[in-house]
């Protein structure tokens, strides 16, 4: 593994607060990324400003540096072996103007995951390719195969096997996964999962499991966001075939990263199996669209996750379309670092940011709100969420219509439907692209299963 990515041109920012956040107004263009991977930041900046490349060129060039340098052993080949000892890669790129996304999960034998993710975005109408078929696509696009394991990853895997496969991520199986390796079989009676368990005991941390997440905004306000990682040490291979393996939050749009021109972008890092359940990057961008400043929404989003998983580790960076950014990390990370460089060519110490606003924000996003069912004919376009807007007080019948309208604005020929129900049982539905949408419901008032219908919105 290479030495930490340190550059004399930029400097890392250390945050030591138990629960800390920051915000800073910046200028455009701007490049911001998680962790002190300054060579990646500098490479993206050089492509964007000096080479006059696009935001997508800049993001891929920056993240590719981390893949080559194997930053912290958590990015690129040579790290994070799964239970079988294999290293696989995840990556994602998102276009903030069109909402196009290219992503790969469990990419095998291809070391340049971020470039393959861009190829998915540029050369297909799909969003996420996974496993062996993602590798097949990469080879078709001209990428070269190679062994992603290293002496270090092989040694790491052998040491793990020698310690009875500890830690691992199996539950409700026999033999006892806390003491034994597999093969495993499911228990006949499921035990409750301990959501409050300290996942740090399993070794989840910066050098065990992390990623580089990056947002790039050019002088015209074009935004892209993306991530690349080699995932979690000793992750579980797939149960069906060897082509399937655990996929974390990095290649999942709205979880690892999200971008929207005119609004901003966000990237998340940390315990992806927990964070992806809350779509933190999407939530941050959607709330910035509603006018919430980046420094505030990062805190609110992390607080929401921490309520349900108080011992998780993770961090979130959000930046608006004007270059104002904020970050928040959860307290398990004793040190969280992020890098930003803008047209002033300087990093910004988050301890200089205003903290008084943060102190006045408490207990937001801490109550259960409701649930959403999305039914879409064009699955690639079902990327939007309604629960956060119900939390803000918007009735289900209104937010379903607004959400469908938002999708239709960018994809006027899509077809899909959305059902939302709040925590009191009030529900609503909206649809687009076909005449009528039918759904069924039962509650104490109706007493029997009742078919409902709603006329769809038209272009």
Binding residues: 246-249, 269-272
Q: What are phi and psi of 284, to 5 degrees?
A: -65, -45
List C-alpha distances in Å: 357 to 21, 23, 361, 367: 10, 10, 7, 22
The arrangement of strands across the sheet holding 370-376 comes to 370-376, 416-422, 427-432
Q: Which residues are annotated as a binding site for substrate?
A: 246-249, 269-272
List C-alpha distances in Å: 69 to 86, 195, 434: 19, 35, 50
List C-alpha distances in Å: 76 to 89, 112, 210, 336: 7, 7, 11, 21
First-to-last alpha carbon distance for the chain, in angstroms, is 54
450: Cα separation from own chain's centroid:
38
DSSP assignment letter at 347: -
Residue with tokens 């939530």: 283
For residues 220 and 172, what is the distance between their CA atoms, to the nearest angstrom? Answer: 52
Q: Whose CA is closest to 223, among 251, 194, 261, 197?
A: 261
359: Cα separation from own chain's centroid:
27
**Do 14 and 337 meet the contact criterion of CB atoms below 8 Å apart?**
yes
* C-alpha dihedral, 267 to 268 to 272 to 277, nearest 10°: -90
**Residue 186 host element (H or E):** strand 185-186
Which residues fall within 8 angstroms of residue 220, CB to CB, at 6 or more apart?
A: none
**Residue 451 host element (H or E):** strand 450-455
Using alpha carbons only, what angle is made at residue 334 by residues 329 and 339, rounded to the nearest 5 degrees?
Answer: 55
For residues 169 and 186, what is the distance between their CA atoms, to the nearest angstrom? Answer: 14
Q: Is 97 exposed, middle or buried (0-12, 13-18, 19+ CB in 10 A)?
A: middle
């Amino acid at each position: 593994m290479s030495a930490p990515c340190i550059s004399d041109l930029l400097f890392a920012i250390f945050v030591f607060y138990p629960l800390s956040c920051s915000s800073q107004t910046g200028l455009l263009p701007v490049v911001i990324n998680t962790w002190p991977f300054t060579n990646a930041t500098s490479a993206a900046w050089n492509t964007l400003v000096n080479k006059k490349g696009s935001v997508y060129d800049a993001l891929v060039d920056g993240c590719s540096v981390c893949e080559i340098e194997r930053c912290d052993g958590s990015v690129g080949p040579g790290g994070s072996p799964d239970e079988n000892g294999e290293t696989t890669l995840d990556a994602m790129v998102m276009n903030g103007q069109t909402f196009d996304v290219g992503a790969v999960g469990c990419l095998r034998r291809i070391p340049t995951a971020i470039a393959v993710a861009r190829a998915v975005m540029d050369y297909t109408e799909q969003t996420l390719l996974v496993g062996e078929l993602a590798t097949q696509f990469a080879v078709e696009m001209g990428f070269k195969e190679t062994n992603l394991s290293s002496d270090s990853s092989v040694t790491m895997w052998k040491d793990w096997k020698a310690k009875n496969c500890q830690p691992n991520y199996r539950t409700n199986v026999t033999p006892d996964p806390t003491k034994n390796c597999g093969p495993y079989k499911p228990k006949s009676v499921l035990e409750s999962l301990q959501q409050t368990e300290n996942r740090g005991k399993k070794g989840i941390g910066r050098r065990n499991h992390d990623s580089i997440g990056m947002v790039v905004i050019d002088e015209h306000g074009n935004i892209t966001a993306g991530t690349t990682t080699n995932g979690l040490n000793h992750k579980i291979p797939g149960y069906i075939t060897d082509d399937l393996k655990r996929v974390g939050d990095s290649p999942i749009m709205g979880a690892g990263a999200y971008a929207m021109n005119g609004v901003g972008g966000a990237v998340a890092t940390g315990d992806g199996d927990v964070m992806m359940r809350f779509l933190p990057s999407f939530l941050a961008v959607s709330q910035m669209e509603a006018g919430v400043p980046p420094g505030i929404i990062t805190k609110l989003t992390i607080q929401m996750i921490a309520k349900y998983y108080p011992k998780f580790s993770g961090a979130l960076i959000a930046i608006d379309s004007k270059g104002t950014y904020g970050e928040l990390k959860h307290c398990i990370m004793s040190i969280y670092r992020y890098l930003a460089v803008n047209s002033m060519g300087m990093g910004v110490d988050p301890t200089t940011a205003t903290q008084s606003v943060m102190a006045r924000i408490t207990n937001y996003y801490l109550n259960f709100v409701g649930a959403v069912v999305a039914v879409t004919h064009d699955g690639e376009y079902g990327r939007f969420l309604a629960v956060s807007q119900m939390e803000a007080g918007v009735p289900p019948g209104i937010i379903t219509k607004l959400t469908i309208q938002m999708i239709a604005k960018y994809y006027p020929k899509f077809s899909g439907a959305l059902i939302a129900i709040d925590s009191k049982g009030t529900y609503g539905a909206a649809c687009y692209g076909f005449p009528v949408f039918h759904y069924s419901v039962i509650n104490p008032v109706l007493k029997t299963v009742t078919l409902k219908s709603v006329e769809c919105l038209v272009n």
